[in-house]
Structure 1
Amino acid sequence: MKIALIIGTTMGGAEAVADELLPVLENAGHEVIYCLDPQAEILLSCPLWLVVTSTHGAGELPENLVKTHQWLATQPSLNGIQYALCGIGDSSYDTFCGALDLLEMPLRSNGAIAFVDKIRIDVQHMDLPEDQALSWLESWIQRI
């Protein structure tokens, strides 16, 4: 399957997690488009979007996903698109993984369907974020 691996990052943490997920997806036989600057035509060519994002400031999207969010909000239809959301954040903030909610609203309202339950990874947790994301991916990758 063709998968858009969409990364929202400010300090590089989400990118490090995505870098660990990429070879697992490719080794499972999927064509993965790595998207730090997601373009509409690329996204619409992929039936599955895997979003790995941090949350910036007070629950905001990383700067590199602001245009994508604006584009999502204006789409008349995302029917046929499925998504999986992986957030990385710090639970000591009230807006823990708030970027996931900002992205999920236009996805759902425009007809995209969650492929799997989202995961919110707390950087205060003892396990590395990469390890938590890999466990999450391995729990559902066979269903693709």
Structure 2
Amino acid sequence: MDRHFTLLVGSVLGASEYVADAIAEALRTRGYKVTILTQPDIDDIDEDSTWFICTSTHGAGELPDNIRAFAAQLEDEDLNDIEYFVVGLGDSSYDTFCYGAMAMATLMDKGGATLMADPLHIDVLHHPIPEDRAVEWLEPILDTLD
């Protein structure tokens, strides 16, 4: 399989990194090449890779610090050749639930990227081990890619 996935991680406390690691393991098990970037920069992404954005939301609906500069890079970028997935982590007791993931999807869409599946918004109140929920969501999607 020659599809390559680049996981772009936005994380404050580490949960998004655990989710990205679980997604990466599921992808590698299927034979895909995977790169994880915890300090994403557009210049570090293989131009032929499929993007997998995995981010939490911080504060009053903001992106985590480690992915903010990357989001700014996307502002005026032509992303027409990019295929992507989005996984967001959040707490539904906040009215800004998964705003970080929604903000990233908006930037991707504005740039013309192609969303490959409906975004997954994981509510940590209902899924205390969010990586399990992410892999459960991903498995049937991978069946369509093989």
TM-score tier (shorter)? over 0.9
Q: Distance in 2 between matches of 1:11 and 1:33?
A: 21
The answer to whether the 8 Å contact 1:5/1:32 transfers is yes
Deviation at 1:126, TM superposition (A): 4.7
1:94 equivalent in structure 2: 95
2:108 corresponds to: 107
Cα deviation, residue 2, structure 1: 1.0
Which runs of no fewer than 5 residues in structure 1 stay unpaired? none
Question: Aligned with 1:32: secondary structure?
Answer: strand
Q: Could you tell me which residue of structure 2 aligns to residue 54 of structure 1?
A: 56
Listed as ranges, the matches of 1:55-70 within 5 Å are 55-70=57-72
The answer as to 2:29 corresponding to 1:11 is no
TM-score, scaled to structure 2 = 0.92
CA root-mean-square deviation: 1.3
Runs of 4 or more off by more than 2 Å in structure 1? 41-44
Distance 2:39 2:102 in 1: 20
C-alpha contact 2:23 2:138 (8 A) present in aligned 1 = yes
Alignment-mate amino acid for residue 55 of structure 1: T
Instruction: Tell me the distance in 2 between the aligned counterparts of 1:14 and 1:140.
Output: 20
TM value normalised by structure 1: 0.94
